[in-house]
Structure 1
Amino acid sequence: MADLNSILTPGMIVRHPDHPDWGDGQIQSNIAGRITVNFREAGKVVLDGSRVTLVLVSASD
């Protein structure tokens, strides 16, 4: 799981596969497997990248 999350960088838009109700979220940081995402409906959430693989929606320009 962590390998896919390692490509995530600030600005990328993702979804949480287990919480579609959170809406799209923007990566704020990805440091040592701790991924901070600001989700539209859930606000700022810090995730353990070894426990969940986020779904990439859009890469930043």
Structure 2
Amino acid sequence: MSRPVVDRSDFAPGDYVRHPRQPDWGLGQVQSAIGNRVTVMFEHAGKVLVDTAVVALEPAEVD
């Protein structure tokens, strides 16, 4: 029995991002990233699962 192939994400746990359509969510930190499914913990929105095929998360720098 072979294991399924997991798509590589553009993001890795620990990366900081912003959601371009939800600027009020604040800075987010990637918790997990498998293919297009990226779980992000945002400052003002909590944990959110983002489909990067639909939303292009923006890489962010930490001040």
What TM-score, normalized to structure 1? 0.82
What does the per-residue CA deviation read over 1:20-40, in whole Å, with 9 as the maximum and x for residues that have no partner? 000000000111210000000
How many residues in Structure 1 have an aligned counterpart in Structure 2?
54
For structure 1, the 5+ residue unaligned runs are 1-5
Structure with the higher fraction of residues in strand conformation: 1
Structure with the higher fraction of residues in helix conformation: 1
Task: Give 2:55's aligned residue.
Answer: 52
C-alpha displacement of 1:19: 0.2
What TM-score, normalized to structure 2? 0.79
Q: Partner letter of residue 52 of structure 1?
A: V
Task: Give 2:29's aligned residue.
Answer: 26
Larger radius of gyration: 2
CA RMSD between the two structures:
1.4
Identity level (%): 50
